[in-house]
Each structure stands twice: as structure tokens, then as C-alpha cells.
Amino acid sequence: MQAGSPRLSGTDMTLAYDRRTIAEGLSVAVPDRSFTVVIGPNACGKSTLLRALSRMLKPAAGAVLLDGEDIHRRPARQVARTLGLLPQSSIAPDGISVAELVARGRYPHQGLLRQWSREDERVVEESMAATGVADLADRAVDELSGGQRQRVWIAMALAQQTPLLLLDEPTTYLDIAHQIEILDLCARLHEEQGRTLVAVLHDLNHAARYATHLIAMRDGRVVAAGEPGQVVTADLVAEVFGLPCRVIEDPESGTPLVVPAARRRAGRLAPEPA
Amino acid sequence: MTVLRTPGGLSLRFRPRALLVGVACALLAAGLGVLAVAGGDYPMSPADVLRTLTGGGTPAETFIIHELRLPRLVTALLVGAALGLAGAVFQALVRNPLGSPDLLGFTQGASTGALVVVVLGGSSLALSGAAVASGLATGLLVYALTWRNGVHGYRLVLVGIGVTAILTGVNGYLLTRAPLMDAARAVLWLTGSLDGRGWSEALPLLGVLGVLAPLVLLGCGPALRMLEMGDDTAAALGVPVRGLRLVLLGAAVLLVAFAAAAAGPVSFVALTAPHLARRLTRSPGPNLLPAMCVGATLLVGADLLAQRAFAEQQLPAGAVTGAIGGAYLVWLLAMERRAGRL
């Protein structure tokens, strides 16, 4: 492996479902130990990109390299020990408990004669502690709130112990408080455990605040990639989303804050003074 | 969950309750088996049965036990086990509690081949062979119609229902073409019966189950449990989803086809056994081994009931499983409705 080349990258990929081409000649690199966030309008191919990077979708042309090797030539189980994915929708089996679900994350490390080692037990406990669901261990997953459930799924992905973790819209369907809770959790995992995270997010301001590396996509192309402070500009938002806006500094974090242009100024909506 | 660990780094995990269900089913099946082997037109005491089994019986007793009653019991056990296992696999594959070979067309497929042999006239060996062949052909047909970047649960159900409808029509046509005597024989076969089943029916199924049960239970069981959480989640955990689906579909179709060849299309065991197993073990997951044990026990019990319930007349076992299974299905739907899931 060349020094300096990232662990996960895709080169010159053509991504297609059946005959519908989503992207052509797409190349991306995920910087090691980054919290990379992919943004872009609906149907721009960001989830498809994540599927390709996680071995779910085989590129029609080009390749995804994981540690310098074509990810599709490596056995699924071996890849699953290096790279984890939290898909957009997962089904919790009826009546399964939190601890049992998180324990399923150990699957790629287990075998017929090694079904539940002390290591498995320790990692599951750590994963539940890291995501704050240890107190819920014996509860049934179907009884939990949306935010709790998402933390349980993240705990399962953590139990897989992969240095790279991909998350497909981890905050969708959550209210604002739970969105921030999940993103704070991701940031902590990135900073404290040194994992490389790649997430698809819808909210530009969340992306700008939490990402260390941003990839902006439109129509299956990468329009810009880099640090959020440099990438997120009014011009870029106009180009990628077709949205006129102003970019100001986030008073909390100092990162770029996108404020969409108002159709009418607030003053005009106020009742006329008598 | 209980864990056994050895100093060498081996670790085995199991649910005590699931193990208990398995053992209880085995004991129950054994008890029912003794009743089945001891009773009948020529009643014997359990002691006589034991003596005959160990080689000390009179020639008549030896014939009755070894050639008549024991093969029938073994066939019932094997057919029940095969259907229970196949049903659990289908339900997990299509992620639908109604996913069973009866509803996906495989049972009807096996029947079509058997009916063709009945119409054309053929030996019972030809009938069994035709049932296996046409069951597998139906499996291939459904697979080919369903395949689109892998076989997905929802499409499998829809295609299966369509194929079931077509084959039911074909089977009805074949029945009308058969001479009256043959049609009567065909209808009995279609109900599923263990009457007069001998070693020639039991042994092929034993061979198939001997190969496929370990493959499915040990080779695919853990991966199938991951598949419950969705294809993407399973794939992310390192499950080769497409290959797994193909192997499991093939194995389950084979089990159903050979079970049908041995006893005819016994209805509802494949549907009922996994549900009962899940209720008894109270654990999530496909519950493959418990479903297999429950299936075997169910069919042995149903056959015993079919033989003894009405003193004068023997029923085909399929009539009993159909009646019990139908009642169970209605009860299940009512329960699901109450729980707000349907």
C-alpha cells in the first residue's frame, strides 16, 4: 500500500441500478480518521455512493479500494471486520432485546466453535456504554423511542469494531434534539475512538458543524470536497442545491451557517402600524 | 442465553429454553411413537415392542413392527422434520409469517408431477420421482421469475402466489383427465397420507435430511438470523446475502419436494411448526432446530390421531394437519389483529 493513500477510496466509478445510471466517472477519497459528510440534493447519488463504498453495490466500471485492494474481490466477512455500515432502514426482529441486538454486531468475528467469547462480551458492553444504552440492555427494542433505537443500532455497528464506519442518513426521522444527540455521539466516536466516519446528511448546517471533511454532490458528480469552512459558500449552495442563501458564521461553533434567502422580509409580514 | 467456554478458546452459546423445547418435543415424539408402534389392529405392550425391536419378537411381531409400523413412524418423523425446517427457512427468507411452501407454489408443483404420473399410469416409485422433479422444477421457475439482482422476499411471495394459482388450475385439469379409480388414488395422495409408507419412502428422505439439515442448521443458521434485520444490515455484517438466499431456497425446495414424494403434500405443517416453535421458545430468530422438532412431533401426533380418532375409519394424516393448521391459522390471525400487527 502506498504511503499517504487513504484506506477507502473509489476511482472512476460508474454506478448504476439495472440500466439506470446514477453516476459516471465518480472518484472520491475518504481521508483517514476524518468525519466525512456527504451532502447534496435528493437523488444526487449520495446514498448510492455510500452503497458502493460499503460493498453493497458493485460499480459497473471503476473500483472501490479498501486498504489498496478491490473491495469486491475480498470476502464479505473480512470486509465486515474493517468497514461497517448503518443502512437507512434496518428491521429489529420481533421482541429482541437491546443487548441481543447489539450482540449481533459481533457476527463477523464469530464462528461455529467461537460463538460468544469474553472479548465479544466485553465489546458489546463497551459499545452499549459508549452510546448510552447500557441501562436499556434488557429492554425490548420495539419499546424504545426513535432516538434510543438509533443509538442501539449505532451500538450494534460499533460492536462490529471496524475502524471505518459508514452511516446512511443516521438522523432522518428524528426530532431536532435527537438529531443533535446522534451527531454529538458520532463526533465523540470520531474524536475519542479515532474511527473514520462517513455519513450522508440532509441538513447542511449539521454537516458544516460536525464534518471535518465535506463532499458536495450533484447529479452524480462531486462538485466540491474539502474542509467545511472552505467548501460551504453561498455560491456552492446555489450551485449544488439551487438555493439562494447567505452564509454566516455559526455563533456556537464558528463553522459556516447557511441561511436561506427569505421570500419576503419579516418586516413586511408584520402588521401595519396603526 | 447460556455460554459454555473451554480453556482452548472454544465458546458455545445457546438458549436453555430452546434446548428445553427441543428435548420436550423429542420426548413427546418418542411417547407418541411408542403409542403408534404398540397400538393398532394387532395391539402389543410396550414391553413386546421393545423386545421385538431388540430382535426377540415372533416372526409376526417382527414383520408388523419392522415392516409396517416402524417405517410409517420414521416417515412421519422425517416428513414432519423436513417440513418444519423448510417452513422456518421460507418464513425467514421472505420475512413473512405466511411464507410457507403451500403458499409459494412448491407444494402444488410437487403435486403436478405426481398427478401426471397418476394420469399416465406409473409405479409409486415413478410417482415419488415425478413429485421430486416437478417440485424442483417449480423451485427453478419461481426463482427465475423472481430473480432481479437476487431474490427478494416480497417478489418471491407475489410470484409464488401466482405460480400457486396456475398450478392449482393445472392440477385440477389433470384430476378431471384421470380415470375414476386413479382420480380417487390421486385425491388421497393430494391430501397427504402416511398409510402404507415403508422404508422405500423413508430412506431417500432420511438421506436428504441427513445432508441438508446440518447444512441449513450449522452452515446457514447464524447468517439467516442476521438476514432478519434486512438485506443491507446483514450484508454490512459480512453475510453473502445472494448466495445465502440461493442455497437456502434450494435446500428448502428440496426438503419440501422429498417430503411430498414420501407422504404427499401434507398441508400446514410447514406453516404451523415455526410459529409454534417461536411461541414455545419465546425467542426471536428463525428457530430452525425447534421448528424441525415441533414439525416432527406434530406430524407423528397428527398421524396417530388420524389412525385412532375414528375406530372404524382411518383418516389421511393430511386431513388432520389441515384441520388443525387451519384452526391455528385463524387463531393466529385473530391474535395478530388484537396485537395490532395486522
Residues of B in contact with A18 (CB under 8 A): 148-149
- Dihedrals φ, ψ of A11, to 5°? -120, 130
Nearest to B11 among A81, A104, A117 (CB): A117
Cβ pair A5, A168 in contact under 8 A: no
Length of chain A: 274
pLDDT > 90: percent of chain B: 44
Q: Does B1 touch chain A (CB under 8 A)?
A: yes
Smallest CA-to-CA distance from B258 within B65, B158, B109 is with B109
Closest-approach residue (CA) in chain B for A106 = B237
pLDDT tens string B164-184:
999 999 999 999 988 888 888
Residues of B in contact with A115 (CB under 8 A): 3, 11-13
Q: What is the pLDDT of residue B156?
A: 86
Indicate yes or no: CB of A94 within 8 angstroms of CB of B284. Answer: yes
Average pLDDT over residues B256-272: 91
Q: Does B243 touch chain A (CB under 8 A)?
A: no
Measured CA to CA in angstroms, residue B288 lies from A105, B103, B285 at distances of 21, 19, 8
Smallest CA-to-CA distance from B88 within B292, B231, B230 is with B292
Q: For chain B, give every domain's residue range.
A: 70-303+318-329
Q: In what order do the strands lie in the sheet with A61-66?
A: A20-30, A8-17, A61-66, A69-70
Q: What is the pLDDT of residue A269?
A: 55
> What's the CA dihedral at A170, A175, A177, A183 to 10 degrees?
10
Amino acid occupying residue B97: P
Characterize the bridge pairing of strands A61-66 and A256-260.
unpaired
Q: CA-to-CA distance for B275 and B57, rounded, in angstroms? A: 41
Q: CA-to-CA distance for B64 and B72, rounded, in angstroms? A: 11
Q: Taking all residues of chain B, what is their mean pLDDT, rounded to a whole number?
A: 88
Q: For chain A, give every domain's residue range.
A: 6-260
Could you write out the DSSP letters of every residue in A186-252? Answer: HHHHHHHH--EEEEE-S-HHHHHHH-SEEEEEETTEEEEEE-HHHH--HHHHHHHH---EEEEE-TT
What SS3 state is found at B265? coil
Q: Which residue has the higher pLDDT, B51 or B149?
A: B51
Q: What is the pLDDT of residue B179?
A: 86
Q: Which residue has the higher pLDDT, B267 or A160?
A: A160
Identify the CATH homologous superfamily for domain B70-303+318-329: ABC transporter involved in vitamin B12 uptake, BtuC (1.10.3470.10)
Terminal alpha carbon distance of chain B: 30
Position of cell 455560491? A235
ipTM summary value? 0.89
Q: What is the pLDDT of residue A3?
A: 47
Enumerate residues 253 to 292 of chain B having a beta carbon within 8 A of any beta carbon in chain A: 282-285
pLDDT > 70: percent of chain B: 97
Q: What is the pLDDT of residue B121?
A: 81
Q: Does A160 touch chain B (CB under 8 A)?
A: yes
Residues of B in contact with A108 (CB under 8 A): 237-238
Indicate yes or no: CB of B10 within 8 angstroms of CB of A105. Answer: no
Cβ pair A127, A185 in contact under 8 A: no
Cβ pair B274, B291 in contact under 8 A: yes
Q: Does A90 touch chain B (CB under 8 A)?
A: yes
Q: What is the pLDDT of residue A1?
A: 40
Could you write out the DSSP letters of every residue in A145-162? Answer: -HHHHHHHHHHHHHHT--
Q: Is the pLDDT of residue B326 over 90?
A: no
| pLDDT tens for each residue of chain A, 274 residues long | 444 689 999 999 999 988 889 999 999 999 999 999 999 999 899 999 999 999 999 999 999 999 999 999 999 999 999 999 999 888 898 889 999 999 999 999 998 888 898 999 999 999 999 999 999 999 999 999 999 999 999 999 999 999 999 999 999 888 999 999 999 999 999 999 999 999 999 999 999 999 999 999 999 999 999 999 999 999 999 999 999 999 999 999 999 999 999 877 665 555 555 5
Q: Is the pLDDT of residue B255 over 50?
A: yes
Q: CA-to-CA distance for B316 and B189, rounded, in angstroms? A: 9
pLDDT-derived band of residue B51, with 50, 70 and 90 as boundaries? confident
Which region among A4-8, A99-103, B249-253, B324-328 has the lowest average model confidence (pLDDT)? B324-328
Architecture of domain A6-260: 3-Layer(aba) Sandwich (3.40)
B94: left (phi over 0), alpha (psi -120 to 50) or beta: alpha
A21: left (phi over 0), alpha (psi -120 to 50) or beta: beta
CB contacts < 8 Å between A and B, how many? 89
Nearest to A95 among B13, B148, B284 (CB): B284
Indicate yes or no: CB of A76 within 8 angstroms of CB of B233. Answer: no
Length of chain B: 342
**Paired strand residues for B13:** B3
Q: CA-to-CA distance for A150 and B12, rounded, in angstroms? A: 29
